[in-house]
Structure 1
Amino acid sequence: MFTLTVDKNLQLALIEETFAPLYAHLVAAHRDYLCQWLAWPAYCHSEQDFRLFAQTMLHDYADGKSMTCAIFYRDELVGNCSLQEINPDLQKARLGYWLAENQQGKGIITRCVAKLIDVAFTRYQLEKAELAIANGNQPSQQVAKRLGFRQEGIITRAENLNGRIVDHVIYGLSRTSR
Structure 2
Amino acid sequence: MLVHTIDEDVSLRLFTKDDAQEFFQLTIDSKAYLKEWLGWLDYTNTVDDTAKHIQARCEEIAANGGYPQSFAIIYKGRIAGTIGFNTMNNASKIGVIGYWLGESFQQKGIMSKALKAVIHYGFHDLKLNRIELHVATENYKSRALPEKFGFKEEGHIRQAEWLYDHYVDHVVYGLLAEEWTSI
TM range (shorter): over 0.9
Q: Percent identity?
A: 30
CA distance in 2, matches of 1:86, 1:155: 19
Residue of structure 2 equivalent to 1:35: 35
CA distance in 2, matches of 1:174, 1:7: 26
Structure 1: runs of 5+ lacking an equivalent: none
Q: Deviations over 1:126-172 (max 9, x none)?
A: 11110000111001100111111110000001110112200110001
Higher strand share: 1
Structure 1 runs, 4 residues or longer, greater than 2 Å off: none
CA distance in 2, matches of 1:135, 1:29: 25
CA distance in 2, matches of 1:124, 1:84: 14
Query: What is the 5 A alignment of 1:1-178?
Result: 1-64=1-64, 67-178=69-180
Q: CA RMSD in A?
A: 1.2
TM-score, normalisation: structure 1: 0.96
Residue 7 of structure 1 aligns to a residue in which SS? Answer: coil
Structure 2: runs of 5+ lacking an equivalent: none
* Deviation for aligned residue 1:50: 0.7
Letter in 2 for 1:10: V
TM-score, normalisation: structure 2: 0.93
Q: Deviations over 1:34-67 (max 9, x none)?
A: 1111011122021100110011111122101861
CA distance in 1, matches of 2:53, 2:104: 24
